Structure formats: structure tokens, C-alpha cells
Structure 1
Amino acid sequence: MTDAPTLPLELDAKDTPRPDPRAVAHGPTATGVPLRTLRRRTLPARWRITLWIILSTAVTLFAVGMIGRSIFIAGVEQSANAEIEQEAAEFARFAEDAAASGHTTAEELVTEYVARQSAHENEVVVATVGGTVIAVANGSATTTDPSAVSDVPGGEALVAELLGATETSGAQEEREAGPLRWGRLDFTTGDGDGSVLIMQYTQDARAQVDAGFATIAWVALVGIVLSSGVAWLVAGQILAPVREVYRVARDIGEHDLSARVPVEGTDDIAAVATTFNQMLDRLEAVHATQQRFVDDAGHELRTPITIVRGQLELLSEDPEERAATLRLVSDELDRMSRIVTDLLVLARAEQPDFVRVADCDIAALTLDIEAKAQNLGDRRWQLMEVAEGAVPLDPQRVTQAVLQLAANAVQVTEPGDRILIGSRFDGEGSERRLRLWVRDSGPGVAVTDAERIFERFARGDSSGARRGSGLGLAIVRAITDGHGGSAWVDSVLGEGATFGIDLPAPTPTRFDAATERSE
């Protein structure tokens, strides 16, 4: 794999090199992420999660508290307004009843009304006639004498201001006596005009609301402390699989990829751990393939290299001996090249694109294989049976596998011997299989050898009748495994052998068959 091209650097006014925004990091710390997006985080993830939970909880509680306080303060104001409206309604009814009962003067009317009032602590009722205070009902005083007006919170100046106001109701906020709500009911009788001023002081009620919410604030603070502890524990449990991923990644060595992350549950974190384990599985498989390739190459190439070195060291000056030596060296080099090629094929068999499936006409494929096999040796090649139909497979890999079987048959037979080739379908429906086979008249394969003959570097018999590197049948099995099939041998020792491959070839459905005919 070649390195990605280095993007040019941009220069500022001082000709100081700065990286192009499109450039990505390379080298041991490369992440493939644009440089400007790389930010170093010094705070651990567990602390970040905990702090964000605490912050969101605190903001939520603060917002809820402020909204709740506003609602309760509004309730206090509404209650004060209701008290004022109730007092005004009571005075109106009292005035009607008084007129019917014979109270004719305004002084008598307001004096008797105020005397009947039972004002609460934060309520003041002031009655005036002709601008003169006649009676005062103060919840914090016991007398209704007009002189009690001086004891009203805010004093005579406040009373005079409200009595002279053009409005008949309102609110006062910026007063030494505190916020209040007030209302004034003006009336007229036969002997004069008067007013009844009703004042509701809300400072104490507001103070009670603030005290209640101060208590709630302390409780909320304790709740935040407790929730922070819970958040710390929960964040630890959530990040535990991530720590396992870190531990496994840290402990994995160059030659040991067997460590895996424990997976518990089915949540997103478990999915991350599962994906990480799958990545390790792929890495381990690739590492094992590379290691096996290196071991196999070292094992098989050691002998021809030794032979070549020994022959070259003993190279004679005699032309005939030199020619014989060079011929032997050339044969060994060819064998080395063939071994390396076979090992590369087996290494590629581990990759997902080793087999490229496409619809293939089996009759045409069989005829092509038989024609190519004619060039493998001077034998009597006979095509015994041909399957007809289309099957999804990789025609190149299947041809390679069958020709390998044919090449093995050539090795164990003599010129003029007969070698048979054929293909057929076995089974029906989804169980149908495509069978391609090669039959020779060689020495056959022992039962004990048949169980291991498709392994790497395994040869058919101890007598050496079946020669080769021992990789050909391993390649055949790799090709059949890539198709989801199997390789097999049927032989009786001394009576020849039949080698073949079975590939899945399910019968097409009616719809598929109709589509094939229309095409």
C-alpha cells in the first residue's frame, strides 16, 4: 500500500508554513482525521459525563425553582387582589343594607363598617369622609381611632397619596413598607362623599414563599450531590466495556491476538465491544494467514535453496556436467516459483474476493476444461458425461481446481493411459449439487491418506508415486470452500482414484426458470 500524497502547505504573510486544512496526519500518530478537528481532551470521559449530568440537573432545578417561585408570587398577588375585591363587595352590600336600615350619614356608615372589620395582620382598611380620616382597621393594631393612621406601614403620606390617586386600584412595589396591593371604593351619600381604602401588604407572604424555596434549594443541593454520586457510578458502569476495549487493545501483542472484550447485554456499548471483537477476529485471521504463508514458504523453499546452493558450489568446468547442473538448478528454481505461486493463491483464499460468482453454463465450462486438459500430457482424455444448465459460480476458479486434479492424474499415469473427465447434477431442489470429477488409472490413494490428502504439504502415498509440493489439492479445497462446497476422493489402493469437487447448485424456481427461457 502506497502512502497518500502529501498536500502542499499554505504560507502566511510571514512565510511561516502552516498545514493545508485538507491535509491529514501521517505517521505513527496518524488517525486519518483532518488536523483542525484534532483536539486534546485532558478530562477523563467519566468526569465529563458526571459533570454534564450535574450541570444539566442543576440548570433544570434552577429553572424549575425560578418558574415555581414566579407562580407562587403570582398566587400571592392574586390572593391580595381577591381580598381587596371581597372587601369592596362587602362594603357595597353593607352600604345598601345601612341605607335601608336608616343610617343616613357617611360618618355613621363608615364608622360602623370599620368597627365590624376583623382585618388580618397584613391588611389595612381606611375610611374617609370629605377627605378626613374617620376610622382605621389595622390588623397590627387594636384601635380603630383615626389617629391609628399614623401606625399604618408607610404612614399618613402613603394613605394620602393613595386616596388622592386618579386610579382606584393598583400596586406599589418600591416602598419601605414593602410591596402592597390596594384598592379604593368611592361612594356618595345624602350628606357627603367618602372613600374606603383597602391595602394588602404582601411582603410577609413573599418572604414565606422565599423561605420555602430556600429550603427547597437546600434539598435540591443535597439531591445534586447524591445524583452526582449516582452519575459517577452509572458513568463507570457505562464506560466499563470501553475500559475493557482499552485494556484488551493495550494487552494485545504482536504475536498474541487471542484476547477478546467480554460482551454483556445487547445495548450500544455491547455492540461496540462485539464490533471490536470482530475486528480482532479479522486481524487474527490475517495474521495467521501471513504467519502460515511465511512458515510454509520457509519450510518448502529451504530444500530447493539448499540444492541450488550446493550445486552451484560444486559447479564443474566440464561442459556436460555444467549443463546438467544448470538444468537441475533451473528445475529447482521452477519448482520454487510454483511453490510461491501456490502459496500466494492459498493466501488470497482468505480474502472475501477470492471467489467471484457469476452465472455460468456448465456444459460449456466442462467442454472448455476438457479441451485445456489435453495440453497437460500425452494421455487418452475422455469426456464421460456433461451436465446441462446454468449455475452461479466462479468459472476461472472452478477451471483451476479441475485442471489441478487433471494435472495430478497426469503425474500418476503413463503416456497413453486413459483419464476420464465428467460433470453432472446430483439431488433435487435446494439440495442439488454440481459434481465435477477426474478419474485416473494410477496407484490409487490409501484410506488413511484420503483423510489428509487435501491438507497443505500432504502427499498421497509414501512411495512417492504422487509427486508435487503438496499444495495443489489444498488449493482445490480452498476453491471449493470459497463456493460453499467440498472436495473429495474415491479410491481403492492399486485401482486408480477419482477426485472431484461438489458445489451447491440449487434448482431454479419456476419464476427463475421462466426468466431464463425468456432471456
Structure 2
Amino acid sequence: MSAPVRKCRCRRTIGGEFFQTIASVLLVGLALMCGIQTAMSTAYFVRERQVSLTAVLDGATAMSERFAAQGSIVTLPLPDEQAAENTRSGFELFNTSSGAVIFVADLDGNVLLHTSSDAFEGGKVPEKLRREMDAGEDVFIQGKMDGIFRSGFYIAGRRLEMDGNAGYLFAATPMNALASYVGDMLSMFLVSAVAILIVCSVLCMLLARRITVPIEQISRAARQLGSGDFTARAPVNGCEELADFATTFNNMAGRLQNIDNSRGQFMGNIAHELRTPMTSIKGFIDGMLDGTIPESEYKRYLGIVSQETGRLARLVQNMLDITKLESGEVKGHPKVYDIWATLTDVVLSDERRIEDGKIDIQGMDPVRTMVYADPDFVHQVVYNIVDNAIKFTPPDGVIHFDVHREGPMVVVAIENTGDGISPEALPFVFERFYKEDRSRGLNTRGSGLGLHICKVLITLSGGQIKAESEEGKWCRFTFTLPAAENGKQPQNAKSAV
């Protein structure tokens, strides 16, 4: 006995997988957004510092030129300590209003004055910067300027000329302002990200629940179906894909239910069909054994027993044939041949019964009509239909044959006069074991399998079969077969039946 299958506890649910996937994507997206925003904000901050320092330089330059023209404050080179102090006092106005450190250097790079002694370490302006400024370009750099500053600064500088003398004017702001700016930005981003994660988590759980509920319902219905409850159905709701899935599942469950019902009916019919002849056989034999039936009647009743035994043998053989046909064990061998050869053979084989029943055969005017099918399959179909026609055609009745071509198919119709088939029974004539006393071919003497075998054989041959009837007047069975094209296999015919 095999061990029961245990559910793996290490597997996550669809809701968990969905939430984890969305959360991972969301976190990656937020991290990427944070990196991009930080980089763009840093670049923006640096550009803003460059613009503001350039504006400070413009203001300081204008002030220096104006005061120089008035003969006060600024002169280059600075003649004495008093001039330096006057110049520093003028630049401190910009230091106070903009927060920028301003300093002046001579052409050799020596710092002549500055507005913040705490920021300066000492040293000279790098020669490379002096050459750029001598070329008439403003410079903007970040750092300590070769050790002039104790810490990092944003520094803007340009060449300054007054009264025929020249030097360099610089404005600088500390770089630690960037860290404060980025820190504030990241703090706001972190608060926003947390809020987004909370809201998205709730939405993800709701959405995951919306997706998983229909799947759970389908899974529950599948478990019921697996346990033998073929009435189980899944609600058709949710998104389009899940609704299609549920519809497909319900269709499958419906087909399984029909198969289960058919199987039950099939077993019941088999039991009934076997029980009736076996009961008759047992009754007659018991009657012979216990003396109820006199010895003089043995031959008569043994004949009945022989007929019932033959009926049992035919029933069992028909069931075996159906099983093999529907399982694909029987392979046809289609070929091109004249359909009239089969019709003629069947009629000639039943000539004695036809004559005894005083039946008129009409339409037997053979015109070479080639089909592509297995002759044995077609012979069985024609035999079953003609056999039923003979049984239920009254004396002086008519059996009519008609064969004609319709497109790529050959149509064969076999019609007989008689009681026909009732409208209620007509849709079921090709089902297993279905019998109706007044219907042609569906009598209580038969097994109810002959027409079902006809349908299976015609379907395997690539055709269709149908029954038509007007109750009390006539009944007609019509089937189609692939037509042979100029004596050759049709292109759309099945390669193997």
C-alpha cells in the first residue's frame, strides 16, 4: 500500500509569491529612484552653488571697481594694512548676505586677504587655476584648493583688474551644506517610501486575495472531483484568465459526470441484457432437469437455448468491438473502391429474407461511385442498417437506396417504409443500449449496440451519420464517406483510420 502524499510545507502560497514579487519590485524601484534622485539633487545643488558663487563674484567685482574708481577701499596691490582692512570690510558685506567666504590673491597666488580666518590653512592658489583665470575664464572647483582650506569648499574664481593692476578674486562656500541638503532630502524620501510601502502592501494583499480566492475555489472543486463528486463546479468569476480556467474546469467536470453517468447506465444495461437471456436459458435447462419440460419437447427448447446463447455471444462480441474501436486498438485499412460493391453484396446476402418478407428493393441502379474507406467498416455499417430495415419493413414494403456525390463526400441513404422512429427516440438512436419498441433497428430483440457501432465506424472513416423519420410512414439513415478523386486517395483523407 502506497504512503499518502503529504503536502510540502516548504512551498509558498500564490498570495505569498505574489506579495514577495511585488514587494521586491517595489523595493528595487524605490532604491533606484532614491539613487537617481540623490544624484540629480546633488548635481542640482552643485550647479546652484556655482551660479550663486558666480553671482557673488559679479557683485564683489562690481563693488571693487566702483570703490576703486572712487579711490576708496579696494586697490591692488594693497598698499598697507589699512587698505587691506578697508577691502576686507567691503567684502564682508557679501559674506554676511550670501554666507560665502571671499578672498583675494595676487598674481603669484599668495592670499592677500580673506573674510574668514577659521577656514584658511595657508598655501598658494594652484598655478593651473591661475592660468585658466588669466585666459579670461571663470573657474569652479570643489575641494581644499591644494591645502588653502582646512575642509572641502565649493570655490569660484576669476581674474580681477583695477587701475592697471591685477589679482584673483574668489568666493567659496563649505561643502558640508550638501550633506545637510541630501540628508534632509533622504529623510523626506524615507518617510514617503515607508508610506508607499504600507499602502502598496495593503493593496497587494487585497489584490492577491482577489486572485487567490478563485484559484482556491477551483482547487476545492478539483479536490471534490478527485474524491468522486462529479457534481463539483467552480464559480466563474475573477479576471478573464481565471474565469476561462473555471469555465474549462466546469466543462471538464461536466464531461466526466456524463461519462460517469454513461458508465453507470452502460453497466446497468449490460447487466440487464445479460440477465434476460441467461434467465431464459436457466429456466429451460432447469425445466428439462426437473421434468417440467417433457423429453419430447427437448429439441424445441434446446433450439431456443441455442438462439439465446447466440444472442449472448453477439452481445459480448459487440461490446468487445466497441471497446476496441473506441480505444483505438482497431486500425482501419482504407482504400479506393466502389461503394456499390458493398451495397450489392449486403442485399444479395439477405436476398432470402427480403423475398420472405415480400419487400421491394428500389434504387439499386449501380453507377460507379468511388470512395476512400475501409471496406470492412463500411460493410458492417451497411449490414446493420439493412438488417434493421428488413426487420421493420412490413410485407409489400419498400427499401430504397440512394448514392450521390456532394462536394468532397459521397452520400449514402437507406430508407424503408414502416412505423419509423418516434420523435422522442430519434435523438438517441445512436446511443449504447438505447431501444424503443416501435423504432426500426431499436427493438427489444436487439442489443441496442448496432447503430452505436455504425456511428463509431463512420466517424473513424471520416464521415457522419444521421437518422431521419416520419413516424408511421418511413425511416431513413444517411451516412457520408470521403470521395475518391479520379480513383485516387483524397488529399484531406485521414492517413490512418
Instruction: Mark yes or no: TM-score above 0.5.
Output: yes
Which position in structure 2 is the counterpart of 1:404? Answer: 384
Report the AA paired with residue 115 of structure 1: G
**1:77 is aligned to 2:46:** yes
Which position in structure 2 is the counterpart of 1:333? Answer: 309
Which position in structure 2 is the counterpart of 1:65? Answer: 34
Aligned-partner SS, 1:107 = coil
Which position in structure 2 is the counterpart of 1:49? Answer: 18
Alignment of 1:78-477 (within 5 A): 78-88=47-57, 105-107=76-78, 111-112=86-87, 115=90, 117-119=93-95, 120=97, 122-128=99-105, 135-137=113-115, 149-150=116-117, 152=118, 155-157=119-121, 160-161=122-123, 163-166=124-127, 168=129, 170-172=141-143, 179-185=152-158, 194-252=167-225, 256-264=229-237, 267-310=240-283, 329-343=305-319, 364-376=338-350, 378-380=352-354, 382=361, 384-386=364-366, 397-411=377-391, 420-425=399-404, 434-439=411-416, 444-445=418-419, 451=425, 454=429, 456-460=434-438, 467-473=445-451, 475-476=453-454
Q: Deviations over 1:56-77 (max 9, x none)?
A: 1122112101210121112212
Q: Structure 1 pair 439/115, CA: closer, same or farther in 2 (3 Å)?
A: same
Which position in structure 2 is the counterpart of 1:145? Answer: none
- Please tell me whether the aligned partners of residues 425 and 435 of structure 1 are also in contact (alpha carbons under 8 angstroms): yes
Shift of 1:218: 1.0
Shift of 1:300: 0.7
Shift of 1:329: 4.8
- Please tell me whether the aligned partners of residues 106 and 189 of structure 1 are also in contact (alpha carbons under 8 angstroms): no
Aligned-partner SS, 2:445 = coil
The alignment's C-alpha RMSD in Å is 5.2
Q: Structure 1 pair 225/349, CA: closer, same or farther in 2 (3 Å)?
A: farther
- Please tell me whether the aligned partners of residues 260 and 277 of structure 1 are also in contact (alpha carbons under 8 angstroms): yes
Shift of 1:187: 5.9
TM-score (norm 2): 0.70
- Please tell me whether the aligned partners of residues 339 and 371 of structure 2 are also in contact (alpha carbons under 8 angstroms): no
Shift of 1:238: 1.7
- Please tell me whether the aligned partners of residues 402 and 438 of structure 1 are also in contact (alpha carbons under 8 angstroms): no
Shift of 1:367: 3.0
Q: Deviations over 1:337-368 (max 9, x none)?
A: 3223334566688789999998977xx21331
Q: Distance in 1 between matches of 2:202 and 2:443?
A: 77
- Please tell me whether the aligned partners of residues 408 and 466 of structure 1 are also in contact (alpha carbons under 8 angstroms): no
Which position in structure 2 is the counterpart of 1:16? Answer: none
TM-score (norm 1): 0.68
- Please tell me whether the aligned partners of residues 387 and 425 of structure 1 are also in contact (alpha carbons under 8 angstroms): no
Q: Distance in 2 between matches of 1:256 and 1:80?
A: 77
Which position in structure 1 is the counterpart of 2:358? Answer: none
Shift of 1:245: 0.9
Aligned-partner SS, 2:438 = coil
Q: Distance in 1 between matches of 2:60 and 2:10?
A: 72
Aligned-partner SS, 2:364 = strand
Q: Structure 1 pair 505/136, CA: closer, same or farther in 2 (3 Å)?
A: same
Report the AA paired with residue 213 of structure 1: L
Q: Deviations over 1:417-456 (max 9, x none)?
A: 9974511449x889x993521547xxx4377599469371
